Chains A and B, each alone.
Chain A
Amino acid sequence: MDEDLQISIDKLPIKRLDAIEESGSERFPSDVGYDEKRLNLIRRIDFGWAVEREDPSKKQKSEGTTSAKESTTTNQQPWQWQSLVENLQLAHQELSVIIDLINTVEANDAVTVAGMTRPKQLPNELLSDLAVSTATKLQCFRHLGKYFKQSATALEKQVAREARFYGALIRLQQNWKVKRHRLVAAASGNEGFYIDLFYNSLHDTSSSLRPSSMSTIPIEHDTAGMLAVNLPPNSCRSLQFEFLGSHSANNMRRSGETKMQALSEDSSRETIKEHANDDECVRETHSLLREVHRAIFDEQVFELVSREACNSSLSVNLTGIQENYLRLSINQGASVSISLLLSSQDNKTTGAGTNHSETETVPSELSDVSKFGEGKDNVKKLGLPNRISFEIYLQQLFHEYVFVKVKNKTTSSVRSQITGQQSKDNLNILDHFCMSLAHRIFSNKVLSELENLVCRTPYVQLISHPTWHSRTSSWTLSMKVPQSILHAGCQIQSSGNSNVKNVRSQFWTKVVVIDESISVEGEGNPNIVGLFNGKPESNCPINRYECDLADLPIILLQHVASQVIQWLHEEALTVGIKVNRDFLSLAFELDHGEIASLVAHVDPEDTRGCISWWLTMDDGLTEDHKLHPDLSIGESESRKYLGHLSLDVLYSTLLDFVNLCSF
C-alpha cells in the first residue's frame, strides 16, 4: 500500500436532466447536435396549411368528391356565414402559428425577432377598411347633425319665448312704469323686472302717502315663457261706501274683480294659439294692472279720509274705527261707513248675503241691522241717496282735489265749490263730502214735503231747478191761473170794463236749500206795514226768509193761500168789486153793509187737500172782521165751510159776489 494514490476526475457533463428515478438513476437526454436541434425546433412549426394552399388542385379534387357525395346525400344551401367562419378559422390558425413562433423565440434566447412587417393589404381589404372608417365618420356627422338640430330647436324656442316676453313687456311699458331690480336679477336668475304703480303727486310732505304693498309688481315667466303677473290672492281692496241702517241690495262690485280669477289660468294655454293669447295676455295684464292701480288709489283715498276724519270737525263725527273701516256720523241722523273690502273669489252671487261674506271688518252688530226688504224701506224713509253715486263722488273729490291739483295749478271746479260754499280756508274734502251728503238727505226730505203739498194742491205745480251744485237745491211752486179764467177775464175786459186788467196769471214761490238751511222766497204775503195801515194792496214785495223743515209746509201753504187771495183781490178789483184783503182772507162789502169774507184755511195734515175755504158773514159792526176767525169752532150761521175749492170755483164764487157787493 505504499503506492501513490491517483485520482482522476472526469468532467461532469453539463446536461439538463430529463428525469430522475426513485432509485437515483438519472436520465439525460440524448446528445443532439446544434443543427439537429434547430431542425427539430423548425419542424415544430406546422406549415401544413401552406402546403395545402400551394396545391389547390388537390384540394378541389378532394372537395369535389366530397361535395358530390354531399350533394347526392343532401340538397341544403350553404350557410351565408360559412365563408366568414372559414376565414376566421384561417386567421386563427395564422395567429396561433405566430404566437407559437413568438413563444419559441422567447424560450430560445439565441433567436430574437428582428421585426415584423404587415403584409401588404389587398385592394378589397383596403376598400373595406376605408368603408368602415367612412361609415364611422358618417355616423359621427349624423350624431352631430342630431345635436345641432336639437340645439337649433331649443334656441329657436328660446328666441320665441324671449320675443314674446320682451314684446309684451315693451307693450306694457307704453302705459306702465317698468323698472329693473338688478340685485334680484342676479340672485334669482330672473330678469328682475317689475312694474311700479306708486304715484305720489303730493309734494307736500305732510300729505305724502305711504306706498302700498302692491306698488311694485314683479314680472315673472309662466310655463310658456310669456310674461305673467301673479298677485297673491286677496291682495286688492276696493273702497265701499255704505249707509248704516240700510242694506244695499245692489251689491255689484266692480267687474274687474272677476278678471283676476281668469288671469291665473292664462299660463295653461296651448302654444298653437300663441298670437291670439299674446294679445289677450297683454290685454288682461293691462286690466289686472289697472285693477291694482285702482285698488292703490282706493287705499290712498281711504287713508286720506282716515286722516281727515280724525281731525275734529263740525260736520262729521268719527264714531267707529277699525282696520280698513271707518264709521262716520253726519248731520240729519245718518251714519255712513267707509271701508276697504277684499275682492273675494267666492263673490259669484249678488244679493243680500254676499256683502256680509265680503266684509271682514264690519262689526257683527252692524251687519245684522237690516235685511234686504227693510233696507229699501229705510232708504225711502230716511231719504238716503244712491250710495254708489256718493262712492263715486268721494273718489272723484279726492282724485280731483288731491291728485290732480299738482298738475292743474288753477283752481278746479271742486275747489271753487268748496271755497264758494265755505269761507273757511281750512275746509277739508271730507267735510265738504259729508256736508254734501247731509244736504242731499235733507233736500230729499224737503222734496218729499214739497211733493206731498203739491200732490194735495191741484193748482200748484212743482218745478225743479237743478243747480249742479252739490250743496244747493232749488224748487219753485208755481200757481197758474187756468186758461178758462183768463179767457173769461178777457171777455169781461172787452165788455167795456174801465178797469185795466192787471192781473197776473202766474204766481211763484221759490224754495232754496243751501246745505241744511231752507229759504223761501216769493210774493203774496202782504206788506206788514200796509196791513196795519189798512192798505195791504199797496205793496206786496217779494219776501225772503228762512225756516226749518217742520215749518216749511205751513209756510208754503200760507204763501200759496195768500197768492190765491191776492189773485182774487186783483180779479175783484178788475171787475169792480169793493174788497179788502187780509193775510188769508178777502172781505167783500155787501149792499147792506154786511161783510162777507172768504177765508183760507191751511192744514198740511189734511189728506183731502191742504187749503180749504170758509165763508164768514159779519155785520160789519165789530172790529173782528179783520182778524182771522176761529175756524176751529166749526160751522155756524155766520160761518160756512166751503171745502177744497179749485181756482175755477173760487173765480165763480168771486163773480157771484158781483151781484151782492156794492161798487
Chain B
Amino acid sequence: MNKGGAGLGGGAGGGSGGGPTAAAAAAAAQKQKTLLQRVDNDIGNLVDNFGFLVNVARVNDPPVRNSQEAFMMDMRAARMVQAADSLLKLVSELKQTAIFSGFASLNDHVDQRTEEFNKLAEKTNGTLARIGEEAVASLKDLESHYYSSALRTSNPPEP
C-alpha cells in the first residue's frame, strides 16, 4: 500500500512538472483512496466468502438443504476467485502507474547513463587520439627504418 501511495505521489509530482499543485495532490489522494477502497472490498469479499464456506460445513438433516448449500458454496467460491482476479488487476494497474510515475528516479538514471556515455565517448576519443599518435610514431619509425635499410639502398630502383 505504501509503495502504491509513493508511486501515486511520484506520479502526481511528475505529472504536474514543477511541483504538486493542490488539484493534482487532491486527485492523487482521491485515486489512492479509491484504490485502497478496492483493495478493502476485495479482501473483504475474500474473507466473507471464505467465512461462509466454513460456516456451511455443518451437515444438515434435510438433503434438500444440502443441495442448496452446495450451490451456495459454488457461488461463494466463484466470488472468491473473482475477488482474487480483481486484486491481480489492481496490481497490474499499480505497475502501469509505476511505469509512468517515477520520473525522478528515471531522470536520475538517464542522467547517470548520459554521464557514463559521455565519459565513454571522451575515453574513446582519447583512445582514438592515442592510437593516432602511436600510428604517427610508428609510421615515422617505419619510414626511417625503411629508407635507411639495406633493402632500399642496395636494390635497384623500381618503378
Q: Which residues from A are CB-within-8-Å of B73?
A: 140-141, 144
The chain B residue sitting closest to A167, CB to CB, is B95
Q: Is the CB of B132 within 8 A of A136?
A: no
Cross-interface CB contact of A137 among B59, B98, B100, B113, cutoff 8 Å: B59
Q: Is the CB of B84 within 8 A of A151?
A: yes
Q: Is the CB of B157 within 8 A of A159?
A: no
Decide yes or no whether B32 CB sits under 8 A from chain A: no
Q: Is the CB of A452 within 8 A of B153?
A: no
Q: Is the CB of B61 within 8 A of A464?
A: no
- Cβ contacts A147-185/B at 8 Å (1 or 0 each): 110010001001100100010011001110010100000
The chain B residue sitting closest to A482, CB to CB, is B153
Decide yes or no whether B29 CB sits under 8 A from chain A: no
Q: Is the CB of A133 within 8 A of B66?
A: yes
Q: Is the CB of B77 within 8 A of A144?
A: yes
A282 to chain B, nearest CB (A): 15
Interface members, chain B 45-103 (any A CB < 8 Å): 53, 57, 59-61, 63, 66, 69-70, 73-74, 77, 80-81, 84-85, 88, 91-92, 95-96, 98-100
Stretch at the interface among A314-322, A454-462, A551-559, A626-634: A454-462
Per the bound structure, the CA–CA distance linking A133 and B136 in Å amounts to: 98
The chain B residue sitting closest to A148, CB to CB, is B77
Q: Is the CB of B92 within 8 A of A162?
A: yes
The chain B residue sitting closest to A140, CB to CB, is B70
Known: A133-B59, A180-B96. A174 touches B106 (CB 8 A): yes
Per the bound structure, the CA–CA distance linking A589 and B73 in Å amounts to: 133
Q: Is the CB of A468 within 8 A of B106?
A: no
A648 to chain B, nearest CB (A): 11
Per the bound structure, the CA–CA distance linking A90 and B81 in Å amounts to: 49
Interface members, chain A 180-217 (any B CB < 8 Å): 180, 191
Known: A141-B73, A462-B143. A175 touches B99 (CB 8 A): no
Per the bound structure, the CA–CA distance linking A522 and B89 in Å amounts to: 83
Q: Which residues from A are CB-within-8-Å of B69?
A: 137, 140
The chain B residue sitting closest to A462, CB to CB, is B143
The chain B residue sitting closest to A130, CB to CB, is B59
Q: Is the CB of A191 within 8 A of B96?
A: yes
Known: A455-B157, A455-B159. A461 touches B99 (CB 8 A): no
Q: Is the CB of A174 within 8 A of B109?
A: yes
Per the bound structure, the CA–CA distance linking A191 and B156 in Å amounts to: 78
Q: Is the CB of A170 within 8 A of B99?
A: yes
Decide yes or no whether B139 CB sits under 8 A from chain A: yes
Q: Which residues from B are CB-within-8-Å of A458?
A: 152-153, 157
**Taking chain A's interface residues, is the majority helix, strand, or loop, or is none over half, making it mixed?**
helix
Q: Which residues from A are CB-within-8-Å of B159?
A: 452, 455-456, 607
- Cβ contacts B96-139/A at 8 Å (1 or 0 each): 10111000001001100100000000000000000010011001
A399 to chain B, nearest CB (A): 11
B143 to chain A, nearest CB (A): 6
Decide yes or no whether B31 CB sits under 8 A from chain A: no
Q: Which residues from B are CB-within-8-Å of A144?
A: 53, 73-74, 77
Known: A155-B84, A458-B153. A464 touches B139 (CB 8 A): yes
User: Which of B85, B91, B140, B157 has its CB near the most chain A CB atoms (within 10 A)?
Assistant: B157
Q: Which residues from A are CB-within-8-Å of B158?
A: 455-456, 607
The chain B residue sitting closest to A461, CB to CB, is B147
Q: Which residues from A are CB-within-8-Å of B85?
A: 155
The chain B residue sitting closest to A145, CB to CB, is B77
User: Which of A140, A151, A455, A607 has its CB near the most chain B CB atoms (within 10 A)?
Assistant: A140
Per the bound structure, the CA–CA distance linking A457 and B73 in Å amounts to: 107
Known: A173-B106, A462-B147. A166 touches B57 (CB 8 A): no
Interface size class of B (residues with CB under 8 A): 35 or more
Q: Is the CB of B136 within 8 A of A466?
A: yes
Interface members, chain A 551-578 (any B CB < 8 Å): none
Q: Which residues from B are CB-within-8-Å of A178?
A: 99-100
Cross-interface CB contact of B140 among A155, A454, A463, cutoff 8 Å: A463
Q: Which residues from B are CB-within-8-Å of A466?
A: 132, 135-136, 139
Q: Which residues from B are CB-within-8-Å of A155?
A: 81, 84-85, 88
Per the bound structure, the CA–CA distance linking A170 and B99 in Å amounts to: 7
Interface members, chain A 113-141 (any B CB < 8 Å): 129-130, 132-134, 136-137, 140-141
- Cβ contacts A601-614/B at 8 Å (1 or 0 each): 00000011100000
Cross-interface CB contact of A166 among B99, B106, B140, B156, cutoff 8 Å: B99
Q: Is the CB of B95 within 8 A of A162?
A: yes
Per the bound structure, the CA–CA distance linking A456 and B159 in Å amounts to: 7
Q: Which residues from A are CB-within-8-Å of B135?
A: 466
Q: Which residues from A are CB-within-8-Å of B140?
A: 463-464
Per the bound structure, the CA–CA distance linking A174 and B102 in Å amounts to: 11
Known: A133-B60, A141-B73, A144-B74. A608 touches B156 (CB 8 A): yes
- Cβ contacts A82-101/B at 8 Å (1 or 0 each): 00000000000000000000
A221 to chain B, nearest CB (A): 13
Per the bound structure, the CA–CA distance linking A100 and B109 in Å amounts to: 93
Cross-interface CB contact of A129 among B53, B57, B61, B153, cutoff 8 Å: B61
The chain B residue sitting closest to A131, CB to CB, is B59
Cross-interface CB contact of B57 among A132, A137, A456, A607, cutoff 8 Å: A137
- Cβ contacts B140-159/A at 8 Å (1 or 0 each): 10011001000011001111
Q: Which residues from A are CB-within-8-Å of B77?
A: 144, 147-148
The chain A residue sitting closest to B147, CB to CB, is A461
Q: Which residues from A are CB-within-8-Å of B109?
A: 174
A645 to chain B, nearest CB (A): 13
The chain A residue sitting closest to B105, CB to CB, is A174
Q: Is the CB of B57 within 8 A of A141?
A: yes
Q: Is the CB of A137 within 8 A of B66?
A: yes
Per the bound structure, the CA–CA distance linking A169 and B100 in Å amounts to: 11
Per the bound structure, the CA–CA distance linking A494 and B60 in Å amounts to: 137
A152 to chain B, nearest CB (A): 8
B129 to chain A, nearest CB (A): 9
Per the bound structure, the CA–CA distance linking A129 and B62 in Å amounts to: 9
A389 to chain B, nearest CB (A): 13
Q: Is the CB of A133 within 8 A of B57?
A: no
Cross-interface CB contact of A609 among B63, B139, B144, B157, cutoff 8 Å: B157
The chain B residue sitting closest to A151, CB to CB, is B81
The chain A residue sitting closest to B85, CB to CB, is A155
Binding site for A on B (CB under 8 A): 53, 57, 59-61, 63, 66, 69-70, 73-74, 77, 80-81, 84-85, 88, 91-92, 95-96, 98-100, 106, 109-110, 113, 132, 135-136, 139-140, 143-144, 147, 152-153, 156-159
A–B Cβ pairs within 8 angstroms, 24 of them = A130-B59, A132-B63, A133-B61, A133-B63, A133-B66, A136-B70, A140-B70, A148-B80, A162-B95, A169-B99, A170-B98, A174-B106, A174-B109, A174-B110, A174-B113, A456-B158, A456-B159, A458-B157, A464-B139, A464-B140, A466-B132, A466-B136, A607-B157, A608-B156
Contacts A137-B69, A175-B113, A607-B157 known; list 10 others, CB within 8 Å.
A140-B70, A141-B57, A144-B77, A148-B77, A155-B81, A155-B84, A155-B88, A178-B99, A461-B147, A464-B139
> Nearest 6 A-B pairs (CB), nearest first?
A461-B147, A456-B157, A151-B81, A166-B95, A140-B70, A133-B59
